[in-house]
Structure 1
Amino acid sequence: MIGAGFMGAAHSQGWRVAPRFFDLPLAPEMSVLVGRDAARTRDAADTWGWNESSTDWREIVERPDIDVVDIVTPGDSHAEIALAALAAGKHVLCEKPLANTVDEARRMAAAADDAATRGIRSMVGFTYRRLPATTFARDLVAAGRLGEIRQVRAEYLQDWLSDADAPLTWRLQKDRAGSGSLGDIGAHAVDLTEYITGQHLTRVAGVLETIVSERPVLAASSGLSGTAGADRGPVTVDDLALFTGRLENGALASFEASRFRLGRKNALRVEISGSDGALSFDLESPNELQFYDATLPASEQGFRRILVTEPEHPYMGAWWPTGHMLGYEHGFTHQAKDFVEAVADGRDPRPSFADGLHVQRVLDAVAQSSGADGVWTGVDRASAPASDSRAFAAS
């Protein structure tokens, strides 16, 4: 695994736990953790359960004893590492968004397609697809329980940047992160909407806003570590993204991604309305799904709360007795499980690098629209992979 920050901890949890709760056809071995700082990386490797640590990712991806490369670095290095790993014959899992630019994502998707002809698999880490509630929502839509999809509202709201004196980290620098709230959390809202509905966005119109334009510079800049000094530097990404979009069937969708919504800590919300029903999901209540069945008599209609903790629900059969909750980290366990099973089965996992390229094109179209006073902007259809009509995972 290349990257030893917050996502490194989350992915490590997934790799460590997956073979202990799921009967995997292959046994993942947590061989090497790679980071920039030797001492910190060695400590992280010991804490998270990696056999060894390194500061040289190029040497690691060439090692014959390494089969999988998991990329959890900032976006500016995704393309270089993924391309090298695929060329070296390694299966690749890469955190979202796939890259910082459409051109980088296009090259990654092309390399992944070429590698697939040699049996090398790749996947992008849109982990919220793998929550039991969101996968079950996808099952309900695929089964026709909502009828024709008519409207979608999706938003991902956080407040960790609301303090204007919060330090200037890499997530606020375009050359490192690619974009701000749009790519960091808006990408999740886009992917989850398309995953649940089974439809892609064809055009978008929106606006990006940077609310705080300067922030204190870290004295020692390395991720979220360091001490904020008196100097201030420019914020070169968006703090807030608002946009609308059209799905393939013409349904209208609205999106918001904000890291300034006070009181919202990690509120990824998706509400989908159809001709026969509706559903609503909120990541701050991750074990619940709200479902409205419009085919019932009027006297019985209304949103009902489904506690998605039954063995019959996706992934839940491997976990705890009915009614016992899962948390944020379980999505990474399910991600590791699904990736290993796909590699063992010799099939390409989803979401693919092609899926990641499509989301990157959506983000790029939003940015283009914002620069053109919010005009409708098309999403390149060449980037949209074929829809996957089945639910990705089973219980």
Structure 2
Amino acid sequence: MNAPPLGVAVVGAGADHWSGIAHIPAITASDGVRLRRLVTSTPESATAAERRWGVEATHELSQALDDGTVDVVAVTVRVPRHAEIVEAAISAGKHVYCEWPLAVDLQEARKLSALSDGSPGGVHLTGLQGRFSPPLRAAAAALAAGRIGRPLTANLRLFLPHGLMARPAHRAHLRHRSVAANVLTIQAGHTLDMLGTVLGRARVSSARLWSAVPEFLLDTGERLPRDAPDNLVAVLDYGGVVAVTQFSQTGPNESFELEILGTEGLLRLEGTGQPQFGGLTLSVTPFGSGTPEVLEPGREPYASPLPPGHPGHNVASAYAALAEAVRTGRPDALLPDFRVAVSQHELLDIIAAKAVDTAVSQ
């Protein structure tokens, strides 16, 4: 007999941002979860959200936490507010899906992870949904099967033009390093978790983190100063497989490429946007062949009901993994819990420290 779907309250549903683009479509398309409540910042935004999504909305978090039909609290607000909401949700006995980054810094992430460890009955997931990507999982399987022999080196490049584009005023907070939503924490955070899913744990060899465009352009024409970095280059060592990675918010277009060179061929994973969103293509080119073979993903344990190009494609898979962990009481090793989040925060801190060291030495 199938378990009833878990009721979800989405916190941060007051505007047409990530919750409306990915979380709410993922929840409404999935069998294991059901949208029960929306939590916004003001009474006016709650009324607008309720009208748009047809679900009861409130501007008071306590109403969602006191609601017995709410099993899961999805935290999709800006990073500086994550900790207070996650703490309140865990204290109320709710399961949690908190967007990445989990916290503004490593210390705060460790505090939340300790709180999670002290509540063993709860499932607390971090939004590193890219690790559920079917092409990524197929890439890991292809490497394990020796499709390109022994991996030797890797090159990863993610280009986005966001740092050159005019942005709406409600995105202006991204110009501040303190809000923890920049090229290191977002693009590198998500993508390096995906790379680690394929190659294992990384050791940081060197890094450079900088702001190529020190102004934030609004769609009104106004230019605001920014201190958040927009470019990162890091050299990582995955057990002898050296990876050169580049992340840029000042690229010519949206594009993602990962190439892993082995003793017997080349594996390539590519897409036209941020890889955690989905829409990736996987191919293998054996040495001696000029024609890449496109590999189709196999059957996935948490198959998404959304199409591969949908921003919520992998988010839906993450919700499926959460629901399965609640149902069985045995979280899958793939599930990015708060301990995984702490590990990723640690990696990014090491990269940032290496980048500072590099800058000082020049």
TM range (shorter): 0.7 to 0.9
Q: How does 1:73-112 map to 2 (within 5 A)?
A: 73-112=77-116
Q: Summarize the Cα distance change of 1:173–1:287 in structure 2 as closer, same or farther, 3 Å threshold.
A: closer
In structure 1, runs of 5+ residues without a counterpart are 20-26, 218-226, 377-395
Q: Summarize the Cα distance change of 1:171–1:58 in structure 2 as closer, same or farther, 3 Å threshold.
A: farther
The alignment partner of 2:98 has SS state of strand
Quote the Cα distance in structure 2 between the aligned partners of 1:361 and 1:374: 20
Cα deviation per residue 1:180-211 (whole Å; 9 max; x = unaligned)? 111121112211100122x1112242111112
Q: Summarize the Cα distance change of 1:327–1:229 in structure 2 as closer, same or farther, 3 Å threshold.
A: closer
Cα deviation per residue 1:25-61 (whole Å; 9 max; x = unaligned)? xx42211111113323432344345x21111224423
Residue aligning to 1:291: 284
Residue aligning to 2:127: 125
Residue aligning to 1:223: none
Deviation of the 1:318 alpha carbon: 7.5
Residue aligning to 2:262: 274
Given candidates 5, 12, 24, the residue that maps to 1:3 is 12
Q: Summarize the Cα distance change of 1:228–1:64 in structure 2 as closer, same or farther, 3 Å threshold.
A: same
The alignment partner of 1:31 has SS state of strand
Quote the Cα distance in structure 2 between the aligned partners of 1:325 and 1:32: 27
Q: How does 1:353-392 map to 2 (within 5 A)?
A: 353-373=338-358
Quote the Cα distance in structure 2 between the aligned partners of 1:318 and 1:240: 32
Q: Give the length in aligned residue pairs.
A: 341
Deviation of the 1:316 alpha carbon: 9.6
Q: Summarize the Cα distance change of 1:142–1:124 in structure 2 as closer, same or farther, 3 Å threshold.
A: farther
Q: Percent identity?
A: 23
In structure 2, runs of 5+ residues without a counterpart are 1-9, 274-278
The alignment partner of 1:105 has SS state of helix
Quote the Cα distance in structure 2 between the aligned partners of 1:131 and 1:374: 35
The alignment partner of 1:70 has SS state of strand
Deviation of the 1:289 alpha carbon: 0.8
RMSD: 2.8
Residue aligning to 1:306: 294
Residue aligning to 1:15: 27
Quote the Cα distance in structure 1 between the aligned partners of 2:304 and 2:231: 38
Cα deviation per residue 1:333-387 (whole Å; 9 max; x = unaligned)? 22222221121111224112111111111111111112112599xxxxxxxxxxx
Residue aligning to 2:243: 253
Residue aligning to 2:226: 235
Kept after mapping to 1: 8 A contact 2:324/2:331: no
Residue aligning to 1:206: 207
Residue aligning to 1:139: 141
Quote the Cα distance in structure 2 between the aligned partners of 1:371 and 1:29: 45
Cα deviation per residue 1:206-236 (whole Å; 9 max; x = unaligned)? 111112223367xxxxxxxxx7475x54312
- Normalised to the residue count of structure 1, the TM-score between the two structures is 0.78
Q: Summarize the Cα distance change of 1:207–1:346 in structure 2 as closer, same or farther, 3 Å threshold.
A: same
Quote the Cα distance in structure 2 between the aligned partners of 1:375 and 1:369: 10
Cα deviation per residue 1:95-136 (whole Å; 9 max; x = unaligned)? 1122220111111222222222xx211111122222221121
